[in-house]
Structure 1
Amino acid sequence: MSENSNKSGGFRQQQDDLLSRRGRKGSVDRYIISRLLQYIKPYKGLLFAALGITISGAVLGPLRPYITKVAIDDYITPGDMHGLTMVSLVLLAVILLDGVKQFAATYLTQLLGQKAVLNLRMDIFRHLQKLSVRFYDRNPAGRLITRTTNDVEALNEMLSSGLVTIIGDLLQLFFIVGLMLYIDWQLTLIVLGVLPLIIYVTMTFKSLVRAAFQDVRTHLARLNSFLQEHISGMNIVQLFGREEREYQRHADINREYRDANIRTVRYFSVYYPLIELISSIAAGLVIWYSGVRMLNQDISLGVVVSFVQYIWLFFRPLQHLSDKFNIMQTALASSDRIFKLLDEKDVAAVPEQPVELQEFRHDIVFDHVWFAYHGENWVLKDLSFRVERGEKVAIVGATGSGKTTIINVLSRLYPVTRGSLSIDGIDISRVPDASLRRLVGVVMQDVFLFSGTIRENLAFGREGATDREIEEAARRVGADRFIAKLPGGYDYPVRENGAGLSAGQKQLIAFVRALLYNPEILVLDEATSSVDTETEYLIDAATAKLMKGRTSIVIAHRLSTVQHADKIIVMHKGEIRETGSHQELLAARGLYYKLYLLQHPEKIHDMPQAAS
């Protein structure tokens, strides 16, 4: 019990934190429901129709025991066959109307739930697209997938079969109690006498199960994150022989998820039998007291039969309410997590006074730029350099020197920490993302391909590109050769992240993308590091055409690919150590010279002499 108390107390602290953060009065549940209602509001016609049908039909179920009482006392006991036939037809009509009511209410509420959840999913995805790259650095993909699938599905269940059904069950209880009081108030008091005990059991159950459902969702997110990560990296697991170790890690996470679910099962396995026991006690008391009164000829058989029916009818909505409460608790726990995601403030910065860049005219200037991914662990340190329009600039250096980070801040995937980065004298923090990225096209080292066709992946950055334009771009890059050999050619289906295509083929696809995108500033980030010699030759030929008349920044590991750059910047531990042309840097016999000799030791005798 102490464990459950701690978890319950922990959840109350989460509630307090949530209310404090959002600055709202009242309970967390009320706040969450008020936000959910915003997704129902556009479909209030469906809601009102479902409510109208549910409310108007709520009396149909409770009428059945009363009609049974009338049939027994007024027609069966006196032997009135004609009256019995008529009342039986009335009972049949009530049953049929109740069935039609249930069908209509179920269909409308399911339709309402699906429409509302569609909008919620769209809002989540739209918000995910706005979040900064830093957010994705610290949140596993599996956790986010859980938010958009499992958590949203829990909400769908509540919207489809929760709120309206709860109102219907409450109204049924109202009509049941009213008819019971009308028939016999003494037996009604016996039934209602157990109600405080049911309320106490339900409230205790609520305080325990809410925290348990939070725990279940947390462990489910961990499990999804683990599976997503390990399915994506299964080749690494197998290459390093980690199958058994990772299996044990999965088993630990899976056991924790199982145990969290078992805790909720334990609460329900106690709750349902308790409700059943209480209802059986109430039925037993009613039967006993009715028997005593029948012996005294103080009550009719029809009243006793109808009350036995009413007892089970009375407790059925209560059990339905507990089932719906289960759904509500799951949905509220999921809603809290979803709205925390939607309230996430780590979005990509939007300029307060944006300045559109229609074209690139003069230069790119890094002015004393500092950057760190975390705290003050500086990756770029006081970086200053200029890239003129039409210039081809290469950035080289050892792994971890900050080369790719320069591209990240130029593309504004991450904001500059200190200093300024400007294009044509305008700080890029003032330029809208769409405007900036129209100018800057990036070919990354790790090419990501989406599920779809080769054609769709080639035209990813150029909506509306014609088949002729796509095929011409592929021909210029040299990608048409391998595409022609694929089954279906340009309509060949690409599997997840390009599975089945070689690294070189994926790089060629990335170059076609860039060619179709037609940026004024072209950035190549280690674009030929993963390809074979033949493919590198194709890419070198294509890039020569692609960079002609275009400002280019080339991040390179192979120094042989940057020898013809107008300017080479040598990075070391986040700082610029040298700048110059290939020949100037070799003659200086500095860091570039050492890197070049490491890659080309056979050319040591051909090196120019150091400047005197």
Structure 2
Amino acid sequence: MKKITTYLWEHRLAYFFAIASMIISVSLDMLSPQLTRHIVDDVIVGGNMDLLLPLLLGILLVGIGRCIFQYTKEFTFDVTGSRIMAEMRTRLFDHIQSLSADFFDETGTGELMSRIKDDIDRIWDCFSFVGMLILEVIIHTFIVLFCMYSLDWRLALLPTLCMIASACIAITMEHKLGSIYEAISEENATLNTVAEENLAGVRTVKAFAREKFEIGKFLSHNKRYYDLNMEQSKVFIKYSPYISLITKLLPLAMLMIGGVFVMKGEISLGTLSAFLAYSMNIVWPMEMLGWLTNSLSSGIASSKKLKAIYAKTASIKDPENPVILPSIKGKVEFSNVSFHKADGYEILHDISFCVEPGRTIGIMGATGAGKSSIIHLLQRLYDVSEGAVYLDDIDIRKLSLKQLRSSVSPVMQDVFLFSDTIQENVKLGKKNELSANAVRSAIQNAQAKSFVEKMSLQYDTVIGERGVGLSGGQKQRITIARALAKKDPVLVMDDSTSALDMETEQNIHETLQSLSDTTKIIIGHRISAVCHADEIIILENGSIAERGTHQSLLARKGLYYKTYLAQYGQDTELKEKEGLTHEC
């Protein structure tokens, strides 16, 4: 994480200008009581009316000067703070994007949204408005005290003691609020996660009539969030009245003590009026201490949360000296691959297979057998625990992540479409390279042309978040078109035709068979999805239980054969006894 001081140093000229404007503005503000003192002593008491007009003109010029420098101060702080926060938010987003899949396995989307939005906003306050006020309180206090001590050191002792007392109260309050703000930040992330999950799955919630349950779950977290904010308020209202009491008593005490000094002739009436003005001027910094402490504690807690994310590093990284292949032919090989995550549970065990360029392998297995994990390992979302994965006879851990992942076009089981036009969704893999004709060709090959061209704006139709408004089959065909449009050497289909009718699925498989230069890895539960493959492997409990062609696996009468019977009916056995062949 880039240090706060680094950001300040990079924008030092802007902050120097803003602070200089602040000093001038505060100094002009402190000049007004001095002008008032001369009006009282020299004009009202002394009777020198010639000085009245220049002194009044001086007060006017002080007011105009303050307006100018207050504006430049606030504008500079706001602009500089906005630039720093834009950079911080971009850096945080870049860092999160650089993290590996295992980070996202254990971190919720709502939590990350809280870090990117809410926590950055709180730090933003510290860089702009809150930070500006903290500096202004410090500068204002020193200048006011200087002016007071220059008039009469005895009267200046009282506001000094009041400032010290207010500062002690504020520091105590900051210590109390620190831990509360960390808990508020955590609960805010949890609340965002619950809301994000519920809104993303609102159709599922309604389908199962679970609105009441989900509302109850949200309310429980909302109640916790409310309780923490109430706890914060209790701390604030416990200490803030003490500061408020000090600020209200100070001017009264100054008037009483100063009045005694005037009656004794130790100070002039004008000096007392200046002291009263300064005492009113020093009140607002003391009043602001409570609120500023509150906001500063929030910013510090948010900074700690960001540091925790920056402490995370990617487990999957580019090698120091990656092998750069001039071109990828598409040979894929798994050699004695085993894989488990951090919990130690073995997902894959001793998986070996080889797919030559342009050939097709089908992978079947029950849910949880490890089929999708094979794809994750090929894309190096995770690293193998044992063995190796090769692309064109090169261990993929020696290749750059960019070259590896840009060589594989995945159609994942979990369909994800962005809230954008159909054309932009299809161009996702190569946005700056694919032409409109290439997009249309991919959509036609994915059997999506018929429904796309019936839409009002056709290829420029904006689809909702995650493809809302499209059927499951339509979303699958758009994602298939997205993969076909890339024309990468390796094409992966992870149960990507499960929502399609048999005719559409058959047409897509005919398109896949025509891709003679593309290595195809097809994962599915349907026999029809994999039966045309050059080799089919059956996974069971993370290991290869069977392998062979469609015909050889049927002849073996094992797991594949049982799946075939389950999908095509028991009359298949009768046809076999009658000497009929098993057609795919």
TM-score using structure 1 length: 0.90
1:114–1:160 Cα contact (<8 Å) kept:
yes
The 5 A counterparts of 1:3-22 are none
2:110–2:189 Cα contact (<8 Å) kept:
yes
Distance 1:204 1:321, change over 3 A: closer
Distance 1:42 1:195, change over 3 A: closer
1:222–1:253 Cα contact (<8 Å) kept:
yes
Give 1:135 shift: 0.5
2:417–2:467 Cα contact (<8 Å) kept:
yes
The 5 A counterparts of 1:248-327 are 248-327=216-295
1:76–1:84 Cα contact (<8 Å) kept:
no
1:122 and 1:596 mapped to 2: Cα distance?
52
Alignment partner, residue 448 of structure 2: 479
Alignment partner, residue 450 of structure 1: 418
2:329–2:489 Cα contact (<8 Å) kept:
no
1:340 and 2:308 aligned? yes
1:396–1:556 Cα contact (<8 Å) kept:
yes
2:37 and 2:185 mapped to 1: Cα distance?
48
Amino acid at match of 2:327: E
1:156 and 2:124 aligned? yes
> Any idea what SS the aligned residue of 1:59 has?
helix
Q: 1:514 aligns with which of 477, 483, 498?
A: 483
1:504 and 2:473 aligned? yes
> Any idea what SS the aligned residue of 1:485 has?
coil
CA RMSD of aligned residues (A): 2.0
1:49 and 1:169 mapped to 2: Cα distance?
17
Amino acid at match of 1:187: L
Alignment partner, residue 183 of structure 1: 151
Identical pairs, percent: 32
Amino acid at match of 1:471: R
> Any idea what SS the aligned residue of 2:429 has?
coil
Give 1:362 shift: 7.2
Amino acid at match of 2:278: Y
1:199 and 1:366 mapped to 2: Cα distance?
66
1:392–1:551 Cα contact (<8 Å) kept:
yes
> Any idea what SS the aligned residue of 2:406 has?
helix
1:606 and 1:373 mapped to 2: Cα distance?
45
2:369–2:540 Cα contact (<8 Å) kept:
yes
Give the 4+ runs in structure 1 shifted more than 6 A: none
1:58 and 1:295 mapped to 2: Cα distance?
31
Alignment partner, residue 350 of structure 1: 318
Give 1:586 shift: 0.8
> Any idea what SS the aligned residue of 1:459 has?
helix
Alignment partner, residue 567 of structure 2: 599
1:436 and 2:391 aligned? no
2:142 and 2:487 mapped to 1: Cα distance?
70
Amino acid at match of 1:136: F
Q: Alpha-carbon deviations, 1:274-317, whole Å to 9, x = none?
A: 11211223223222222323333433222222222211211212
1:568 and 1:551 mapped to 2: Cα distance?
14
1:364–1:424 Cα contact (<8 Å) kept:
yes
Alignment partner, residue 460 of structure 2: 491
Alignment partner, residue 167 of structure 2: 199
1:441–1:523 Cα contact (<8 Å) kept:
yes
Q: Alpha-carbon deviations, 1:461-503, whole Å to 9, x = none?
A: 1122111221222233332221111111111112111100111
Q: Alpha-carbon deviations, 1:495-523, whole Å to 9, x = none?
A: 11110011111111112211210011111
Distance 1:475 1:246, change over 3 A: closer
Alignment partner, residue 22 of structure 1: none
1:526 and 2:495 aligned? yes
1:194 and 1:172 mapped to 2: Cα distance?
15
1:238 and 2:210 aligned? no
1:99 and 1:320 mapped to 2: Cα distance?
21
Q: 1:385 aligns with which of 353, 356, 359?
A: 353
> Any idea what SS the aligned residue of 2:431 has?
coil
Alignment partner, residue 229 of structure 1: 197
1:135 and 1:254 mapped to 2: Cα distance?
26
1:358–1:435 Cα contact (<8 Å) kept:
no
2:63 and 2:182 mapped to 1: Cα distance?
40
Q: Alpha-carbon deviations, 1:521-552, whole Å to 9, x = none?
A: 1111111111233432442343333x333211
Alignment partner, residue 36 of structure 1: 4
2:288 and 2:250 mapped to 1: Cα distance?
18
Q: Is the deviation greater in 359-368 or in 404-413?
A: 359-368
TM-score using structure 2 length: 0.94
1:578 and 2:561 aligned? no
2:537 and 2:47 mapped to 1: Cα distance?
107
1:477–1:541 Cα contact (<8 Å) kept:
no
2:339–2:384 Cα contact (<8 Å) kept:
yes
2:418–2:465 Cα contact (<8 Å) kept:
yes
1:362–1:424 Cα contact (<8 Å) kept:
yes
1:490 and 1:560 mapped to 2: Cα distance?
30
Q: 1:55 aligns with which of 4, 8, 23?
A: 23
Q: Is the deviation greater in 554-563 or in 343-352?
A: 343-352
2:537–2:548 Cα contact (<8 Å) kept:
yes
Q: 2:431 aligns with which of 444, 451, 463?
A: 463
2:342 and 2:303 mapped to 1: Cα distance?
30
1:185 and 1:43 mapped to 2: Cα distance?
39
| Alignment: residue pair count | 577
> Any idea what SS the aligned residue of 1:530 has?
coil
